[in-house]
Amino acid sequence: MNDRSTRAKKRAELLRQMIRIRRFDERLLELGGTVRPGEEALATGVLQSVGADDPVVSLSLEPAHALVRGVAMDELLGGGRIVDAGLRFYGGRTAPGTGLTFASGLALSIALQRRPLVTVCLFSDGGVRDAELHETLSLASQWRLPMLFCCENDLSAPEASRSDTELAMHAASYGIPAWAVDGMDVLAVVDAAERAVEAIRAGEGPHFLELYTYRFRGMAEVARWREFDPIPLLVSMMCASDEIGLEEAVTLESEVDSEVGALARG
């Protein structure tokens, strides 16, 4: 398989995962659940950039993260705390900023065992003012823990000011390499996550990604942000580079619809 076909296959999988998240969210919404459509690129891009043995701690978009990690849809539909040690997935800590010390413990264990793994911790911007985040950043920096901090900034934290939204600056102040990424562009997320993971595996210590994104429901200016919907954005990119045709995209979407439809009937 040449580089072009490999790239097309990888992007098709990114597209499939994003559509799965969107359709599952829509099903949850029908059942009265809380969803965050529009943030699929963030979950997919980060988690498709790490290995199966890399532990993942999810503190925010838990169902989306779990889906990409491999947790079955029917398990997620049942609700409750999502933990699958076999998949190295640890969720269920929903309060902003909680669970970061747990993630640092996993990273410390990896470091002590000298294993080439990365602990991924995904959390929301709502925890930026919490002491736990700053304590964990300080500890990770001093001990050069193999951690990838992924902050999902949907610009909705209460009383957020512009300075509060520049969250990468907090990590940089602890000497941690940090940069902001367009969380609506799955390819940009993959590029940033892969570079960070490579550096961490090389022993360069923790890295921090601030991923700008946006929820489509229950917020103002929805119409403007819809223009940046990550799913049609990726389809357009793939069509432009002849990596997928519209018929193939429709077929892929139909396959996901069948998967979710079977779940609904079950």
**207: helix, strand or coil:** strand
State which residues form the domain around 153.
3-261
**46: helix, strand or coil:** helix
Domain count, the chain: 1
| Beta-bridge mates of residue 210 | 151, 180
Lookup: tokens for 225: 């942000």
In CATH, what number is assigned to the domain containing residue 30?
3.40.50.970
CA distance 181 to 190: 10
Note the pLDDT tens digit of each residue in 145-189: 999 999 988 766 554 444 445 778 889 999 999 999 999 999 999
Enter the DSSP assignment of 190. Answer: H
Residue 158 belongs to some domain of the structure? yes
Residue 173 belongs to some domain of the structure? yes
Note the pLDDT tens digit of each residue in 43-69: 999 999 999 999 999 987 788 999 999
CA distance 42 to 177: 19
pTM for the structure as a whole:
0.89
Lookup: tokens for 265: 């009937």
pLDDT averages per 10-residue partition of the chain, 266 residues: 82 95 85 68 96 93 88 79 88 67 95 97 79 92 98 68 64 94 95 98 97 67 69 92 88 91 68
| Beta-bridge mates of residue 152 | 124, 211
Amino acid 198: pLDDT: 98
